[in-house]
Amino acid sequence: MKKRLLSLAACLCMATAVSATDMAKLNKDSQIMRNILETSLKQENRRGAIRIRSVSTSYLQGQGMVFEVRVNSGNTHFDFNFDGLISDLSVSAPPAPEPPEFEGNFVFSDSEFVGDIQMLTESALELAREALEDTRGRRRELRQEEREIEWEVRQYEREIRDIEFELRHAEQERKTELNQRKAELQRDKDKLQEKRKDIEAIEEKLREEERSAADKRKQDQAKKVKQFLANFEATIAETLCDYGGGLRELPDAEKINFVLPDFSVVKTNRGNQRVDKIYIFDVEDVKSCVAEDLNANKLLDKALTYTF
C-alpha cells in the first residue's frame, strides 16, 4: 500500500513538472505572438485617429488565450460615444494586407508617431471648441439684444396705452397730436418686432448649425471607428493565419480571444456605460487558416464578435 502511494505521488510530481513545462512554453509562445500582434497592429494603424496603446496577454486554462488590446485617440478627454452604434456595426473585412516583415525581437516603438497624432487631434479639438464657444458667445449676445428689444417694446406699449387713455378725454386739436404720436410709436414698435424676428431667425440658424456640427462630429467618429475596426479585424485575422501556428501548446478545443476594453461608451437604461469589443476564434479554425484551408476573411467570418 505504501509503495502504491509513493508511486502515485511520483506520477503526480511528473505530471506537475510536464504541466509546468507546457505552461512555460505556452507563455513563451504567447509573448512572441503578443509582440507580433502589437507590431502588426501599430504598423497598420500608425496614422489612425484611434491609436493602439498596448497589447497584453493572459491564459485561462481550459478556455484559451486572451489578448487585450488597449487603444486611445491621442487625447485622454475623448470618448467614443455612439448611442449603441458600436454594437450594431457590421464591418466586412477588407482584403487582407500583406504580412508585415519583422526583424530582431519584434520590438516596435511608435514614439515618432505619437507626438504628431496628439498634436493634430488636440489641435482639431481646440478648433472645434473655439468654434463652439464663438457660436455660444454669439447666441448670448443675441439673447441679450432680444431682452433689450423686449424691454423697449414694453415701453412703447405702455406709452401707447397712456395715449389711448388720454384720447378718451382730449380735445380735437390734442387728439390729432396724440394720434400722430401714437402712429410714430406704433411704427417704432413694429420695427423692433421685425428686428426681434430677425434675431430669432439668426438664433435658429445658429442652433441648426450646432446640431449639424454635432451630427457631423458623430458621423466622423463613427467613420473612424468603422475604419479602425476594419483594419483591426483584418490585421488580427491575417496575423493569426500567418503566425497562429506558433501557439503550439494551445489545445485545439480552446479559443483565441481578443478584447478591446472600454472601447466605447453607449447609452443604456442605467445611463452611459463603457463596453468592451470582443472577438473569439476557435483554435481549430486558426490552424485551418495556417494550413491554408481557410483564408483570413473566412476565419474572421467564423469568429464570434460581440460587445459587453
Q: Please check whether residue 9 lies inside any domain of the structure.
A: no
Residue 206: inside a domain: yes
* Residue 5 lies inside a defined structural domain of this protein: no
Q: What share of the chain in percent tops pLDDT 90?
A: 37
What's the domain count of the chain?
1
Residue 105 has a pLDDT of 35
3-state SS string for the chain? CHHHHHHHHHHHHHHHHHHHHHHHHHHHHHHHHHHHHHHHHHHHCCCCCCEEEEEEEEEECCCEEEEEEEEECCCCCCCCECCCHHHHCCCCCCCCCCCCCCCCCCCCCCHHHHHHHHHHHHHHHHHHHHHHHHHHHHHHHHHHHHHHHHHHHHHHHHHHHHHHHHHCCCCHHHHHHHHHHHHHHHHHHHHHHHHHHHHHHHHHHHHHHHHHHHHHHHHHHHHHHHHHHHHHHHHHHHHHHHHHHHCCCCCCCCEEEEEEEEEEEEEECCEEEEEEEEEEEEHHHHHHHHCCCCCHHHHHHHCEEEEC
* Cβ neighbours for 21, distance < 8 A, ≥ 6 positions apart: none
Whether 16 maps to a domain, the answer reads no
Between CA 23 and CA 17 the distance in angstroms is: 10
* Beta strands at 51-60 and 271-282: parallel, antiparallel or unpaired: unpaired
Percent of the chain with pLDDT over 70: 72
223 contact partners, CB below 8 Å, separation of at least 6 = none
- For residue 134, being part of any structural domain is answered with yes
Residues ≥6 apart with Cβ < 8 Å to 208: none
User: pLDDT class for 127, splitting at 50, 70, 90?
Assistant: low
Q: What is the pLDDT of residues 66-118, one digit of tens each?
A: 999 999 754 433 344 444 444 333 333 333 333 333 333 333 333 333 333 34
Query: Which residues form the domain of 167?
Result: 22-307
pLDDT at 171 over 50: yes
Average pLDDT, the chain: 77
Lowest mean pLDDT: which of 70-74, 135-139, 167-171? Answer: 70-74
Q: Judge whether 292 lies within some domain.
A: yes
Residue range 269-297, pLDDT digits in tens: 888 888 999 999 999 999 999 999 999 99
Query: Who has greater pLDDT, 130 or 28?
Result: 28
**What whole-number distance in Å separates Cα of residue 247 and Cα of residue 283?**
9
Q: According to the model, what pLDDT value does residue 49 have?
A: 67
Residue 224's identity, in one-letter code, is: K
What are the Cα distances from residue 210, in Å, to 195, 199, 215, 222, 224?
23, 16, 9, 18, 21
pLDDT for 73:
57
Among 257, 299, 294, which residue's Cα sits nearest to residue 279? 257
Q: Minimal CA–CA distance to 189: which of 200, 201, 178, 181?
A: 181
